[in-house]
């Protein structure tokens, strides 16, 4: 990922993208928030087009059209009324779920992620969602039924559509849809837990995309990863187990906290949908781990082809995930 910063052009665009996020998060009115989102959009588009490949041009066009429609919906919502009503909150909510790729506004995300680099996949799956998610937390309480529907639909869609995927970027796109559904569900009852879930997800996918970018797997097919180091595959499997939400890894505790607050709020139907989607996510994560482990030609504890620095970073990130999960368990049970 750091190779992207070797180009001053990308450094400038990324800095402006962070500036747009800061503008949206620190704004005191809807117009300034909208302006920050637009800065975000128009800084991300040149980053997609920096390689000038046909598939990236197509991805940029899809991204621009969907984001422009979402921006128009948000603008119409705050221009129609000065205060938040059920109508304005619903219109703004629909625009925001299209921006972050939550079902039913998820249609653009898998194809765009499949066409861009691992570095841009990380940006799109993490910091690009930060400002819209903060806005969703502000309006979710005004549209509880719509929020519950989108959260449950995202969990189910992310689970079902990811089952038969072999393209790694597309699979992670559907995984992102499912996890954003959990963040949205948590935001309905407890914004602190929602933010905690998002931060944990951000930590996991940052380590994941870092190593995928290191591998430079242009095909995006996860079967190709069986040709790499076995030590890498073991640690990589730990990241996926954490992403699936199995204990005692980091991804388990945000889901446990979310289920706890949903149960306390008596949102049992939504909780059932979230669990069903999470189980399907867990299935294709574990299936992928099984395929990688059984198809590899390397013994489990031999030295692979990765440089020592990468292996060290991989081990450190995996250890941090396990240690963080243990500390969070003590915090949660105390």
Give the pLDDT confidence of 228-281 residue by residue, as tens digits.
556 667 777 788 888 888 877 888 889 989 999 999 988 889 999 999 998 888
Distances (CA, A) of 205 to 49, 54, 128, 327: 23, 27, 13, 20
Mean pLDDT for the stretch of residues 18-27: 90
Which distant-in-sequence residues (6+ apart) come within 8 Å of 313 by Cβ?
210
Q: 290 or 186, which is more confident?
A: 186
Which distant-in-sequence residues (6+ apart) come within 8 Å of 288 by Cβ?
171, 222, 240
- pLDDT, residue 91, reads 86
Q: 211 or 74, which is more confident?
A: 74
Q: How confident is the model at residue 208 (pLDDT cuts 50, 70, 90)?
A: confident
The candidate with the shortest Cα–Cα distance to 189, out of 134, 226, 140, 224, is 140
Helix runs in the chain, H state only: 8-26, 30-48, 54-80, 86-100, 109-115, 118-125, 130-139, 144-160, 168-189, 191-215, 230-244, 252-264, 268-295, 308-333
Rounded to 5 degrees, what angle do the CA atoms 240, 197, 190 make? 155
Q: 145 or 307, which is more confident?
A: 145
Domain count, the chain: 1
Domain hosting 212: range is: 2-333
- For residues 143 and 180, what is the distance between their CA atoms, to the nearest angstrom? 17
Helix, strand or coil, per DSSP, at residue 105:
coil
Least confident of 97-106, 142-151, 217-226, 227-236: 217-226
- For residues 40 and 280, what is the distance between their CA atoms, to the nearest angstrom? 33
Mean pLDDT for the stretch of residues 23-44: 89
Q: 33 or 289, which is more confident?
A: 33
The per-residue pLDDT of the chain, averaged, comes to: 79
- pLDDT, residue 309, reads 42
State whether the Cα torsion 68-89-105-133 is positive or negative. positive
- Phi then psi for 106, rounded to 5 degrees? -95, -5
- For residues 43 and 67, what is the distance between their CA atoms, to the nearest angstrom? 13
% of the chain beyond a pLDDT of 90: 23
- pLDDT, residue 301, reads 36
- pLDDT, residue 297, reads 47
Q: Tell me the per-residue pLDDT of 79-119, one tens digit each, with 9 for 90 and over.
A: 766 566 667 778 888 999 999 999 888 889 999 998 888 88
The candidate with the shortest Cα–Cα distance to 118, out of 203, 4, 21, 223, is 4
- pLDDT, residue 84, reads 62
């Amino acid at each position: 990922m750091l190779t992207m910063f070797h180009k001053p052009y990308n450094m400038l665009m990324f800095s402006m993208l962070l500036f747009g996020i800061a503008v949206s998060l620190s704004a005191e009115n809807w117009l300034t928030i909208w302006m920050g989102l637009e800065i975000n959009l128009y800084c991300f588009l040149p980053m997609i087009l920096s390689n000038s490949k046909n598939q990236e041009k197509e991805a940029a066009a899809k991204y621009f059209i969907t984001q422009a429609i979402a921006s128009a919906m948000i603008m119409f919502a705050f221009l129609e009324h000065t205060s938040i009503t059920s109508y304005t909150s619903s219109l703004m909510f629909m625009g925001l779920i299209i921006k972050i790729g939550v079902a039913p506004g998820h249609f653009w995300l898998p194809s765009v992620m499949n066409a861009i680099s691992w570095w841009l996949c990380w940006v799109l799956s993490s910091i690009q969602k930060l400002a819209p998610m903060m806005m969703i937390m502000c309006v979710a309480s005004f549209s509880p039924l719509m929020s519950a529907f989108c959260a449950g639909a995202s969990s189910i869609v992310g689970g079902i559509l990811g089952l038969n995927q072999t393209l790694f970027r597309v699979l992670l796109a559907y995984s992102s849809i499912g996890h954003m559904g959990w963040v949205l569900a948590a935001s309905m009852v407890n914004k602190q837990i929602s933010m905690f879930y998002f931060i944990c997800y951000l930590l996991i996918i940052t380590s994941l995309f870092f190593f995928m970018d290191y591998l430079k797997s242009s095909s995006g097919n996860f079967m190709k990863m069986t040709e790499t180091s076995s030590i890498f595959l073991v640690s990589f499997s730990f990241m996926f187990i954490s992403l699936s939400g199995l204990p005692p890894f980091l991804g388990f505790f945000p889901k446990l906290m979310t289920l706890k607050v949903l149960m306390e709020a008596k949102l049992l139907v939504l909780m059932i949908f979230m669990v069903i989607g999470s189980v399907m996510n867990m299935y294709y994560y574990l299936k992928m781990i099984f395929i990688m482990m059984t198809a590899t030609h390397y013994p489990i504890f031999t030295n692979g082809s990765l440089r020592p620095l990468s292996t060290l970073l991989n081990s450190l990130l995996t250890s941090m995930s396990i240690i963080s999960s243990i500390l969070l368990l003590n915090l949660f049970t105390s």
